[in-house]
Amino acid sequence: MAKNKEIKTNAMRILDRMKIPYRQYTYECGDFVDGMQTVELLGLDPKTVYKTLVTQGAAKEYFVFVIPVAEELDLKLAARAVGQKSLEMIHVRELVQVTGYVRGGCTAVGMKKQYTTVIDASARALPFMIVSGGRIGSQIELSPADLCRAAGAAFGDVTVKTGGQHAG
């Protein structure tokens, strides 16, 4: 599967070991801005692209959430989904230390440790979803069920409900 400058990341090696099929997208990216930049660079449907966010609970436990790229994490719903009173986003400077991934290259598969992970329930209805491949400039497409299995995740309602309004 690795041809034409495709670089295997830890996440891809794990998917290969688990015999989970995926498709890799690569792109040139200077300074990472946000997930919508990736959507535009690759010409993807933003409804299929998900970002990975890392939060921390009161007891210094970390929790991972995979949500649609154009949506926001609802911290109250997220806390409820993982049995916490409250959560807060970790600082970007802590991301590499906690996950092993940099901002823009963070994915729920293959983090330094196995953290409780929740994929937004909206993914269940999709035939495939696209998430970071484990480094900036790499995205992977796979089924939501396969991501759930590879990340040891569960599905849950964790995004801000906007009353039917859609960004973009």
Say if pTM beats, i.e. exceeds, 0.85: yes
| pLDDT for the residue 4 | 42
For 123, which DSSP code?
G
| pLDDT at residue 168 greater than cutoff 50 | no
Share of the chain above pLDDT 70, in %: 90
Residue 2 domain-assigned? no
In a domain, 84, yes or no: yes
Query: The domain that contains 18 carries what CATH number?
Result: 3.90.960.10
Range of the domain at 102: 10-156
Evaluate whether residue 48 is within a structural domain.
Answer: yes
pLDDT tens sequence across 57-76 = 988 899 999 999 999 999 99
Instruction: Count up the domains in the chain and report the number.
Output: 1
E strands, the chain, are 23-26, 50-57, 62-68, 87-89, 116-120, 129-132, 138-142, 154-156
In angstroms, rounded to a whole number, what is the distance separating the alpha carbons of residues 120 and 148? Answer: 10
Could you give the percent of the chain with pLDDT greater than 90?
Answer: 74
